[in-house]
Structure 1
Amino acid sequence: MNFDDRVALVTGAGSGIGKAMAVAFAKAGARVVVCDIDAATAGQVAAEIGDAAVAATADIGDDSSVAALVETAVSTYGRIDVLCNNAGIMDTMALPADIPLAQWERVLRVNLTGTFLVTHAVLPHMLRQGGGAIVNTASEAGIRGAAAGAAYTASKHGVVGLTKSVAWAYAKDGIRCNAILPGPTMTNIANGATFDPTGSARLGPVLALGERLAQPEQMADAALYLASDAASFINGAIVPVDGGWSAA
């Protein structure tokens, strides 16, 4: 899994799974665009990686911000070979009748529309290059109805569908698109969140099935493989990385 002379753009790369992805691609030889909405954390990760990385700040839910992000990547490195759509936010575990409309719209805007916007902006460059690899971070909630609240669940089901659509549409153009479904992982996505008590109580028994916590590096390893030449005939795959939770 050698990424020499390739460029990887990773969103949500200031911490957690995204940071682990950025580090993993750099170790494998890629030059990395470390993107996060938090400029400070993006800068810290890029500094840790060193000369093979550049930091970028973007709100992936805003199309003008995304356009500037992709322009930064292309103007800095000339191309984008790998896109890891990793940035996302959690909901409050609220059930459908209880979720505020503002929360629904924000979660869908970041998790689903944001993934689309970055993909939409990167695809023309991959088409001109003659290929590329996209790895989306979906979730166990992308294949279940009881692994998160209504907004997060809907957004990640949408990411799964978008992954398959992109894979089908561009397979003949040398562009592959796959998704990983992380189970419970040691990240800060839920830090500071206040969870809806009714939803949390209803979802508790299912969430308890995923009691084993993964390390971010385990998710990054899966993404690295799916983006690599070793996975050259894997396209449209939805890959649980959950220690067997989805098999229960």
Structure 2
Amino acid sequence: MAGRLGGKVAVITGAASGIGLGTVELFVAEGARVVAADIQDEKGAMLAKRFPGQVAYAHCDVTDEGEIEAALKLAKSEFGGLDILFNNAGISDRMTSITEITAEDWSWIFDVLVRGPALGMKHAVPLMLERGGGSIINTASIAGLQAGWGPIAYSTAKAGVIHMSRSAAAQLSPQKIRVNAICPGLIATSIFGASMGLPREVADQMAARVADAGAKVQPVPKAGMPDDIAQAALYLASDAAAFVSGTHIVVDGGITVGSRHSWDQSAGSPFAAMFGDLAPAQS
């Protein structure tokens, strides 16, 4: 089959919406067969119906090890094996302070964002070894690189995902299984509304607002879209990245390059504000 992923089989978690949905669509277009894993059963069933013979849906709560294992085994029973795992399922805690967040929220966030991908890797490895290797991609975030881009538990968990990916790559790369992470910036999905505690149907509507605002607060003047992350995942999943393992790719429109004055000339420089009066007078 033609395409950069021709003949490959992928499992994508959080596949029914946002980044996961965009990645399913792109991977299928590039020749992969995909197990779309999610807890949104109606959306997942519709996705499988859109791509008969190319997409199978698996109900998968990534806090449940049994459901993770079953989704990965479906790749073998339905499509013959497993080459790619994209641990993408995600949630966010609310924008609360360290003094306000509950122990239960800490556990819930880490169960989904860190333990879920860890268990995904655990159960993917034997299947990938049967195929001679594979590619594992974990969704991290710029919130795991710098403070200020997400709630505290979410940000801490995403930092853990970055280092977990590096550590797993050290263990698995000798077995021809590459492990990398993607750090999205402001991508137009429902996760921002979720961090505000909005119901899913309302949070979905927040994506348009994120798209409008994102283009104005970063050097690249366009909205970050799910396809931007899907394209990065496609690269890491493909043979083009055969020499890439143990790293993270930042896909953020340049928002983390520096403070606003570094890329927006209309923004005043803090150095000018502090030391402008010491500049020599013009004669």
Q: What CA distance in whole angstroms lies between the structure 1 residues aligned with 2:236 and 2:73?
A: 25
Q: Counterpart of 2:191? A: 189
Of the candidates 97, 100, 120, which is equivalent to residue 99 of structure 2? 97
Q: What CA distance in whole angstroms lies between the structure 2 residues aligned with 1:212 and 1:150?
A: 27
User: How many aligned residue pairs are there?
Assistant: 237
Q: What CA distance in whole angstroms lies between the structure 1 residues aligned with 2:113 and 2:238?
A: 24
Q: Counterpart of 1:34? A: 36
Q: What CA distance in whole angstroms lies between the structure 2 residues aligned with 1:217 and 1:12?
A: 15
Of the candidates 246, 250, 253, which is equivalent to residue 240 of structure 1? 250
CA shift digits 1:88-125 (9 cap, x unpaired): 10110222111111111111110111111111111111
Q: What CA distance in whole angstroms lies between the structure 1 residues aligned with 2:49 and 2:29?
A: 14
Q: What CA distance in whole angstroms lies between the structure 2 residues aligned with 1:85 and 1:63?
A: 13
- Normalising by the residue count of structure 1, what TM-score does the alignment of the two structures yield? 0.90
Q: Counterpart of 1:78? A: 80
- 2:188 partner amino acid: M
Q: CA deviation at 1:83?
A: 0.5
Q: What CA distance in whole angstroms lies between the structure 1 residues aligned with 2:88 and 2:139?
A: 5
Q: Counterpart of 1:138? A: 140
Larger CA deviation: 100-109 vs 41-50: 41-50
- 1:124 partner amino acid: P
SS in 2 for 1:22: helix
- Do the aligned residues in 2 keep the contact of 1:23 with 1:49 (CA within 8 Å)? no
| Structure 2 stretches lacking a partner, 5+ long | 198-213, 259-283
CA shift digits 1:54-97 (9 cap, x unpaired): 11111111111112212222211121101100001011022211
- Do the aligned residues in 1 keep the contact of 2:151 with 2:195 (CA within 8 Å)? no
SS in 1 for 2:70: helix
Q: CA deviation at 1:187?
A: 0.9
Larger CA deviation: 215-224 vs 145-154: 145-154
CA shift digits 1:117-152 (9 cap, x unpaired): 111111111123220001111001111122111110
Q: What CA distance in whole angstroms lies between the structure 2 residues aligned with 1:145 and 1:192?
A: 19
Task: Please show how residues 1-248 of structure 1 align to structure 2 within 5 Å.
Answer: 2-194=4-196, 209-210=217-218, 213-248=223-258
Q: What CA distance in whole angstroms lies between the structure 2 residues aligned with 1:50 and 1:142?
A: 37
Q: CA deviation at 1:192?
A: 5.0
Q: What CA distance in whole angstroms lies between the structure 1 residues aligned with 2:162 and 2:222?
A: 23
Larger CA deviation: 11-20 vs 129-138: 129-138
Larger Rg: 2
CA shift digits 1:181-210 (9 cap, x unpaired): 000111112335536xxxxxxxxxxx9955
Q: What CA distance in whole angstroms lies between the structure 1 residues aligned with 2:238 and 2:223?
A: 26
Q: What CA distance in whole angstroms lies between the structure 2 residues aligned with 1:114 and 1:170?
A: 18
- 1:164 partner amino acid: R
Percent of aligned positions with the same letter in both sequences?
36
- 1:228 partner amino acid: S
Q: CA deviation at 1:178?
A: 0.9
- Do the aligned residues in 2 keep the contact of 1:61 with 1:117 (CA within 8 Å)? no
Q: CA deviation at 1:155?
A: 0.8
- Do the aligned residues in 2 keep the contact of 1:9 with 1:83 (CA within 8 Å)? yes
